[in-house]
Structure 1
Amino acid sequence: MQEDNDGRRITGKLKSVECREKILALSCGDAHIILLSEEGRVFCLTQSSNVPRPVGNLNQVIQVACGDQHSIALTQDGNVFTWGQNSSGQLGLGKGEPSTLSPQPVKSLSGIPLAQITAGGDHSFALSLSGAVFSWGKNSTGQLGLGDTIDRPAPAPVDCLNLKKTITVSCGVEHTAILTKGGLVFTFGSGRHGQLGHNSLRNELRPRLVAELWGAKVTQIACGRNHTLAFVGSFKKIYSFGRGEQGQLGNGVKMDQSVPLPVQLPQGRIDDQQIEQTFAGGNHSFALCSSAQESGKGLNDSNLGKVTQTLDGDIINRWISDCDSTSWKKIQKEITKTFSSASCLNGSFLDKSRDKHYQTSLKHSGLDLSFARLAFQKLAQKDKVLAEVEDVVQRILLPSLSKDPIGVEGLRVYLIIPELLRVLLKQHRIDIIGAFVFAILRLNPDKFQVLEGLWSTLPDTPFRTLVKTFHYVSAEYLRMMAEEVCDVKETFEGTVKVMERLYEVNCNRRIKIAASNFHINRANQMLQNMLNTIVYYDYLDLPEAFFYSCHRQSCIFNTEAKCIVYQLELNYSFAIHGHLAFWIPTIHVSRETALEDAFQHLRQSGHDFTMPLKVKFQAENGVDEGGVSLEFFRLLGRELLKMEPKTLEVYESGLAWFTTDDGGITDEFYLLGLLCGKALFSQCVLNLCFPLALFKKLLGLTTTLDDLKELSPTEARGLQDVLDEDEEVVEAMDVVFMYKGQELIPNGEKVPLTMVNRKKYVDLYVDMKLNKSVQSQFADFEKGFHKGFPIQAWRMFLPEELMTLLQGDDNYEWDKLRENAQYQGYRPTDDIIQNFWIVFMEFSEEQKKKFLTFLTGTDRLPRGRSLSKLQMQITCLGSTEADEYYPKAQTCSVTLCLPNYSSIDILREKLLHAITHCDAFGDF
């Protein structure tokens, strides 16, 4: 029965339809019927013909649905096809697409594992296995649930239904109903006839809970054209609401009803019957019943409710047990069907414990990756099966992945595949990696960002697997490049790009893995070979892009490799500016006024910052080949901490920070930064005892309470107490949002500290202390630093590495100094050498550091010149009267000129005098 255009009811005639295939399901539109056969084929009936006509080339279809003038089909591998009228975008094919008689794939749903498709008048819905809801088409009354009345030509996620555990969607002509696993019903769209059940006739643009059904635990819903049914299985009751003009509400009257009321079922006739399923047609309703003994049999024998195929343990067990039998060809087809479909994989390995997969969100994938790991380990038991899976994934799946998956579920494949790669890499099969890398890099930026969010919340083991996979392959590609086995440069660069993103994710993870997991040690030798073989002017042939790539890919370099790149880039800079070398003035300074002389020199407008600094101490003979500069910056380190007016304030920790009182200071912060940059550029140490916070700020990283703990332990301890104490203690502290007379927030003096706002208070306090209170000072320092170090190599380093690069290494491995020592004119077994090492090892720690200063010009070794790498040369200072002379040091070549003393006592006396009193170059 239906209505014509004038509202008159028309009773149709029963017709017999013959079909060669067994019909499993059907769906009706305004003037057409779609039939689904047991073999998964689709047929269509129209008003003009009762002969089933095949629809396109659709195969393996598991669900069909009809709107008024359009149709939808879902295939076993998760693809959705639509055809028919597209006046309101109900086909979901995208903006501007015309109506069509042949089924077209809805590409934007590619990769989503679907549980249900359904259609209303001119709108459509799809429901994923994890409860994500997508809608498209006409939206004149809000029937898409998106909060507006704008039509959608392509599927859009109904975000407000996320985490609701949706299990069923049903559509009327202009309204929609949603059923959750917990038995709640939400409705939205047209309320003109009360079909939303909210005791009003108002339209709803967003899903709204049907309050009258609260607590009833609904188990089924069904929408007619303008009415809705809800079945409560535990009560054996069906509730109806909406249009009732033709008796479709089953309440004995022909009136509209805006609240759910029970359907008047025949008394006594269903007491021994079970209601299997409720249905709502255009303007009619009915319930399918069976006896208690036969309950569920009819439905279980049909394909109704079939969902996208997924992979499970039973399937894998069958594959590996039957792969050597005559069933292999069938297994091959199943492997192809499963592993060529992102939808199938994305619906597999779901974490169903406590319905966790329904919690899928930007921070939770809904996967049980331990299950995936075990599954692929089992597949690996049969190389024949694993090879087939590998081939299908590489040849079909990865090239077909969408660059713009519509939801989080569409990205699950990028978390599952690494578990397959893990077992493949154990067999050194890496060919598939390239395809996977390029699939990741094809993702649109916003989707890549979502994937990074999922990476950031992975448990430790899967995240390590991910990193190890790309690390192993990157190292292998680097080996191939070095050995020129094949051209893998593009693939190597792609894998390193993914490593970079993983490294950034790791930096923001709550529990981080060590940076060494990203380092490729093979890179050290390759870079060292470059450093050893490239001569000065050959640097001009190096493309500047090489250094840009090194900066961008710095996560694969350990500190040693970064130092080599740093040296290469310095050499490159010196080479391209080498023609200006004769312009470089040597700065002449006095030891007594070194800082003042340095500032005066740097203030001169003609200073060249493209070359390293050269220093000449007045009245001294030393020539600056590196050692004089080291001594110069050592002196500056002492003077800068004592200068007036103060630029730096030394804290209880012994560390220095910018003074907040900058009265009387003009350009000193800029010059301080300039000297720090110049020290780095000249490969010298300038130890100003800065905390790690400075280097984090230079690198654009956020400072935290831990940084304040390093600088000012007592101050930070008070803030930690604020975070740790009980409520009574916190509120008794009588603290407001102020910092040394400055408000941390507007009206901060009136905002008391509480348990609720204490973390905010601590964060604002730390930000004020380390950032805002010294904002202009740091800005001037940073400007000077960039000026003094005109290349970008320093950006590769971690804060800890950059700190050591500038302030030197105080990890003194004194035994290494002896191990690496070389001798000229002496032998290691000579008495003078044996006595020297006896005396040296007798020295106190402070005396050893003075010796180091005497030998190298600094008591803190530059990065890359630790004692384990420092090769001191001890040479014989020839003289007929050796006992009259003191030892000499050639700092540039790290050489100790040692007279052949007649006794250990004289050696001890002369050496101590030399390291204690020799403050000038060329004294001896």
Structure 2
Amino acid sequence: MLCFWGAQVREGFELVKPDQVRHGKCGIQSVCPRTAVQDMSAGRSFAGFIRDGKVSVLRLRSEDYNHDGKLKQLQLKYKIIQIVCGGDGAVLLVDGGNVLIMDKSTVCKPLKGLENRQVIQIACGDHHSMALTKDGQVFVWGENSHGQLGLRKDHPGSPSAQHVQSLSGVPLAQISAGGDHSFVLSLSGVVFGWGKNSAGQLGLGDTTDRHVPTVVNRLNRKKTVSISCGGEHTATLSKGGTVFTFGSGGSGQLGHKSFRDEHHPRVVAELWGSEVSQITCGRHHTLVSVASSKLIYSFGCGTQGQLGNGEMINTSVPYPVDLSAECNDEYTIEKLIAGENHSFVLSFKEPGNESKPIPSRGILTLDDRMIGRWLSGSEPWKMIKKDINKVFSSAASLNGSFLKTSCDQHYQTSEDHCGLDFDLVKTSFVKISKNESLISEIVKVVQQTLLPSLNPNPVGEESLRVYLLLPELIRRLKKQQRTELTEALASKILQLDPDSLKLLEKYWSRLPDGWLKGLVKLFKKASAYLIGRIAADTMNLDIQTRLPKFVQILQLVYQVCCSANRSITKSDFIINEINELLDVLQTINDDMLNNLVMLHLAEQIQAMIDQQNFSDAVLKNLISLPCIFNLEAKCSYMKNRAWKGCFPLTLRRTALLEDSFSQLRMAPQQQLQEFCLSVFYTEDMKRTDVNKRDFFHNVFEELCAPESLMFMYNDNQTMSWFPAQLSVEKEKYFLFGILCALAFNNNSVVHLPFPLALFKKLLNVKPSLEDLIEFESVLGKSLQYILDYSEEVEEMEMIYTIVWQGIEVELDPAEPGKKVTNSNREDFVDKYVDHILNKSVEEVFEEFKRGFFKACDRCILEMFEPEELRGVLVGNEEYDWDILKQNTTYEGSFYAEHPTIISFWEVFDELTSNEKKAFLLFLTGFEKVPILGMSAVKMRVRPLFIFTQDHLPEALTCHALLELPVYQNKETLKTKLIEAINHKRGFWEE
């Protein structure tokens, strides 16, 4: 049955004979044609009807056409399943997915631009139209005067279908076209609008036109299930039956008891609790249906009876349409249609009959049922391949798959929730991966079609689901397929615009543990494979560009894990093959120096140089992505990196600071960063590694001593910090920074008694209360006590005014004398810590930092965590002398049971703790243990043959080599060893 009311038309639209038209109350008429109406639509110029797949149209009276036309059946060779009438013509959907357009003269022709596309939905505005394809793509055509095509501002419009690329990847449920505006709805209820906005019909809070799809944020998480556009207003329906309207309200079409426009979506309060099941907007009126009560409500323009309430006036409040009892009792309302000046209800008897319209179909998505069909073998392989191509070539289809439907959770899709059912995804991909034919076909489609099509500037959160789904799929593949797809996926992730990448990182931070570890493992395996190829002496210039992609993703995920405090550990990211690559480089260096150069094997030398240069280039690309390096690898890289030359310092032992400062002041940045430091003492003018270590030891002892006046010290004089008031020239901090960087570059452990805050600040990590506690434990613990104080007191008898280094400071200058309360105590502590570790030393620290980065490549420094950086520069105090003994090797005539060696270790065990530390300084040039622990100190002992009994032991610090005379007895050995470590440090010969 078709019921209709509104402006006068030819009796019964000529669908039946005039005497078969039923006339009800309030001008409502109904017809029951012999051939049932399957679908119909009414626009400004035409009303169209589909019966048995055939289309009939009737021209409506208008200003240009003052009488109704006759019902005319279009002579088409196609079966039509849907018609939508617009301002001038109509759009027809053919069974099978083709689209025809009908012009003013009712001539129909195929729409260009949709060849080989299966359309599932069509929409028509005044001068533009839309189509949604099975794979989730939106196409538009017509005029673009207000941006209603969603293409771009300067697009002139088009008679052929144009792809709205900005919506690629969004899994859409519905499209709708208004007068000159357009809307789409995603499967998870996100609403996008664009086009004319003169009355606020886009719901964005203003009246500015939009030329690209824009999210209506006020409708987020409202579980929107349907949208409808009118001439200049819009209505949406939520799953629970709530109706929102916005835009022009001049005829009351918003239903808000007023005739004013609304620029934001607003609930139609009069319908609250009615559980509306259907909405549709006409030119200036709105219809809604409540399935449970079989009631239809109308509001808006009624001057031609289109509200069906017996009045010819505009109404701003929803009133029931007075349908006959026959319609209510015997028929089920299937579709509401609102036109220019007409309203229609398409109903069918219960139970449904064969003439019901074909339900509106959604985009193709992957689900358990489809996978089951593929695996059962019930369908021909040709059909299965066709389905695979449709689903896995479309980001929109994949993004609409595996949604978490329980409790409607996918409607909560946001920056915090991706909407995926992870368990369902996992079980589905496990099933697929067991069928080799299926997985091979899927890989081909993903590689050749899906990945190349991904939009680097996706719209909305739903577009990013594909980046969560694909890693889980790729993990199930064989090695070769996995590596290729992983690389392609990595490239696409790195091409994402910054906002989308940031959102993807948020999704990563909330992945289930198994998924997150799987993601890391995927990119880690690919990275390890390529690094292994380099280490195995397989030169491939491709690797130099391919490898960083994988590692960049690992670095991003690592940073996400650190920020989100995830349980995944640093060790999960480390690639041990890096250590093998560094070992290969060291071996090459050793071979070139010890063997090939001596033999003059030019070809082998060149091959090794090429391999060394290639490996160095790869490592240089990776040092800014340090998550894959373990501490040993980082230190090995620092120790073995290639220098471009030597940067010499010529110094007087009696004027180390004066001489070094004068030369560092003028040193070029490139030499400081890329040249190895060489130290010459004027007393002997020999360049030795001993001189360098001796220089660093002495210069830092002098700079960090209280007498230097450069720093302030904590209460027990164990730690230094920058002063709030300068007592020396500011330039000294700049030069001090250069010296610290040079020590770092040259792998020298120095006396640098600073809290971890110093190293955090160098790495742009914000210092914390824990760092203040390390420096000033009493003050820091007092502030911690304030945070931990449990009693409920409003004021804490403290104010924001503090005294630091003798200077009174207002922590909140805007409110001097502000009191500390229970509610602001965290702010007070944060500001206190920030002042001491940041603001009070800002000027002097920036000088130090400027000097540090003049001499140190920032990328190399950022390889290290703050704790690691401190360990590299300062060492540690974990003195395990047993490990030193176990790792010692003997050369020449010495061996472990040699009498002199036995005496040496007996003497060593008798040394005091300070004497043992002095011996370490004597042996290595470092007073503290290197960051890798005592196991990194590989002491070698060999006999010193040319000596007298007065000769002292000697050391080559760069090799940790002890040259030990063969003394006549243990007592002499002990005397000479103690004399050497106490009096000869820094002045022995190499």
TM-score relative to the length of structure 1:
0.88
- Structure 2 residue corresponding to 1:715, chosen from 779, 783, 788: 779
- Structure 1 residue corresponding to 2:97, chosen from 37, 40, 46: 40
Greater alpha carbon shift after TM alignment, 658-667 vs 263-272: 263-272
Q: Report the AA paired with residue 230 of structure 1.
A: V
Distance 2:822 2:356 in 1: 60
Q: Which residue is equivalent to 1:894?
A: 960
Q: Which residue is equivalent to 2:460?
A: 407
- Structure 2 residue corresponding to 1:734, chosen from 775, 797, 805: 797
Q: Report the AA paired with residue 493 of structure 1.
A: P
Distance 2:81 2:979 in 1: 102
* Residues 1:849 and 2:906 are matched in the alignment: no
Offset from partner CA, 1:609-651 (integer Å, 9 cap, x none): 73555557898x8966223433443344444132253513235
What is the CA-CA distance between 1:794 and the residue it aligns to? Answer: 2.7
Q: Which residue is equivalent to 2:249?
A: 191
Q: Which residue is equivalent to 1:388?
A: 441
Greater alpha carbon shift after TM alignment, 268-277 vs 823-832: 268-277
* Residues 1:515 and 2:570 are matched in the alignment: yes
Q: Which residue is equivalent to 1:827?
A: 895
- Structure 2 residue corresponding to 1:565, chosen from 637, 642, 650: 637
SS at match of 1:117: strand
Q: Which residue is equivalent to 1:593?
A: none
Q: Is contact 1:615–1:632 with CA below 8 Å preserved after alignment? A: yes
Q: Which residue is equivalent to 1:634?
A: 697
* Residues 1:784 and 2:851 are matched in the alignment: yes
Q: Which residue is equivalent to 1:230?
A: 288
Greater alpha carbon shift after TM alignment, 185-194 vs 47-56: 47-56
Q: Is contact 2:551–2:622 with CA below 8 Å preserved after alignment? A: no
Q: Which residue is equivalent to 1:683?
A: 747
* Residues 1:749 and 2:855 are matched in the alignment: no
Offset from partner CA, 1:508-533 (integer Å, 9 cap, x none): 33326333333332233333433453
- Structure 1 residue corresponding to 2:834, chosen from 759, 767, 774: 767
Distance 1:612 1:37 in 2: 76
Offset from partner CA, 1:448-503 (integer Å, 9 cap, x none): 34333433443333222222211111221233345437653232233233334334
- Structure 2 residue corresponding to 1:78, chosen from 107, 111, 136: 136
SS at match of 1:686: coil
SS at match of 1:868: helix
Q: Is contact 1:653–1:711 with CA below 8 Å preserved after alignment? A: no
What is the CA-CA distance between 1:586 and the residue it aligns to? Answer: 2.6
Greater alpha carbon shift after TM alignment, 146-155 vs 10-19: 10-19
What is the CA-CA distance between 1:63 and the residue it aligns to? Answer: 1.3
Q: Is contact 1:31–1:47 with CA below 8 Å preserved after alignment? A: yes
SS at match of 2:752: coil
Distance 2:157 2:481 in 1: 51
Q: Is contact 1:335–1:388 with CA below 8 Å preserved after alignment? A: yes
Q: Which residue is equivalent to 1:703?
A: 767
Q: Which residue is equivalent to 1:586?
A: 650
What is the CA-CA distance between 1:400 and the residue it aligns to? Answer: 1.5
Distance 2:342 2:656 in 1: 98
Q: Which residue is equivalent to 2:176?
A: 118
Q: Is contact 1:45–1:53 with CA below 8 Å preserved after alignment? A: no
* Residues 1:338 and 2:391 are matched in the alignment: yes
Q: Is contact 2:750–2:926 with CA below 8 Å preserved after alignment? A: no
What is the CA-CA distance between 1:307 and the residue it aligns to? Answer: 1.4
Offset from partner CA, 1:383-413 (integer Å, 9 cap, x none): 1111111111111111121222222222221
Q: How does 1:175-254 map to 2 (within 5 A)?
A: 175-254=233-312
What is the CA-CA distance between 1:9 and the residue it aligns to? Answer: 7.1
Q: How does 1:272-671 map to 2 (within 5 A)?
A: 274-289=332-347, 294=351, 297=352, 302-322=357-377, 327-425=380-478, 429-482=482-535, 483-484=537-538, 488-489=542-543, 490-511=545-566, 513-534=568-589, 549-569=621-641, 571-573=642-644, 575=645, 578=646, 584-590=648-654, 597-599=656-658, 601-603=660-662, 608=667, 610=671, 625-639=688-702, 640-650=704-714, 654-663=718-727, 666-671=730-735
What is the CA-CA distance between 1:598 and the residue it aligns to? Answer: 1.5
Offset from partner CA, 1:502-560 (integer Å, 9 cap, x none): 34434433326333333332233333433453579999996997775244343333333
What is the CA-CA distance between 1:869 and the residue it aligns to? Answer: 3.1
Distance 2:873 2:727 in 1: 28
Distance 2:649 2:358 in 1: 88
TM-score relative to the length of structure 2:
0.83
* Residues 1:836 and 2:896 are matched in the alignment: no
Q: Is contact 1:228–1:242 with CA below 8 Å preserved after alignment? A: yes
Runs of 5+ unmatched residues, structure 2: 1-8, 10-43, 45-59, 598-605
SS at match of 1:552: coil
Q: Is contact 2:176–2:229 with CA below 8 Å preserved after alignment? A: yes
Runs of 5+ unmatched residues, structure 1: 591-595
Distance 1:261 1:791 in 2: 71
SS at match of 1:74: strand
Q: How does 1:844-923 map to 2 (within 5 A)?
A: 845-863=913-931, 866-878=933-945, 887-901=953-967, 907=973, 911-912=977-978, 914-915=980-981, 921-922=987-988
Structure 1 residues 393 and 675: alpha-carbon distance in aligned structure 2, compared to 1, 3 A threshold: same
Q: How does 1:151-170 map to 2 (within 5 A)?
A: 151-170=209-228
Q: Is contact 2:679–2:688 with CA below 8 Å preserved after alignment? A: no
What is the CA-CA distance between 1:776 and the residue it aligns to? Answer: 1.3
Q: Report the AA paired with residue 424 of structure 1.
A: L
Distance 1:835 1:137 in 2: 92
Identical residues among aligned pairs (%): 41
Distance 1:400 1:319 in 2: 25
Q: Is contact 1:727–1:754 with CA below 8 Å preserved after alignment? A: no
Q: Report the AA paired with residue 176 of structure 1.
A: T
Q: Is contact 2:84–2:90 with CA below 8 Å preserved after alignment? A: yes
Q: Which residue is equivalent to 2:192?
A: 134
What is the CA-CA distance between 1:665 and the residue it aligns to? Answer: 5.4
Cα RMSD of the aligned pairs, angstroms, is 3.6
What is the CA-CA distance between 1:802 and the residue it aligns to? Answer: 1.7
Q: Is contact 1:173–1:226 with CA below 8 Å preserved after alignment? A: yes
Q: Report the AA paired with residue 86 of structure 1.
A: N
SS at match of 2:652: strand
Q: Which residue is equivalent to 2:873?
A: 806
Distance 2:698 2:164 in 1: 72
What is the CA-CA distance between 1:826 and the residue it aligns to? Answer: 1.4
What is the CA-CA distance between 1:915 and the residue it aligns to? Answer: 4.1
What is the CA-CA distance between 1:258 and the residue it aligns to? Answer: 1.5
Distance 1:89 1:727 in 2: 61
Greater alpha carbon shift after TM alignment, 148-157 vs 190-199: 148-157
Greater alpha carbon shift after TM alignment, 463-472 vs 649-658: 649-658
Q: Report the AA paired with residue 645 of structure 1.
A: L
Greater alpha carbon shift after TM alignment, 130-139 vs 150-159: 150-159
Offset from partner CA, 1:13-35 (integer Å, 9 cap, x none): 43445655554332221332333
Distance 1:659 1:522 in 2: 45
Distance 1:664 1:920 in 2: 29
Offset from partner CA, 1:369-394 (integer Å, 9 cap, x none): 33222211111111111111111111
Q: Which residue is equivalent to 2:15?
A: none
Structure 1 residues 410 and 651: alpha-carbon distance in aligned structure 2, compared to 1, 3 A threshold: farther
Q: Is contact 1:739–1:768 with CA below 8 Å preserved after alignment? A: no
Q: Is contact 2:373–2:379 with CA below 8 Å preserved after alignment? A: no
What is the CA-CA distance between 1:656 and the residue it aligns to? Answer: 2.6
Offset from partner CA, 1:175-233 (integer Å, 9 cap, x none): 10111223322211111111112222222223223233334433322111101123344
What is the CA-CA distance between 1:600 and the residue it aligns to? Answer: 5.5
Q: Is contact 2:651–2:682 with CA below 8 Å preserved after alignment? A: no
What is the CA-CA distance between 1:339 and the residue it aligns to? Answer: 0.5
Q: Report the AA paired with residue 339 of structure 2.
A: G
Q: Report the AA paired with residue 237 of structure 2.
A: L
What is the CA-CA distance between 1:738 and the residue it aligns to? Answer: 3.7
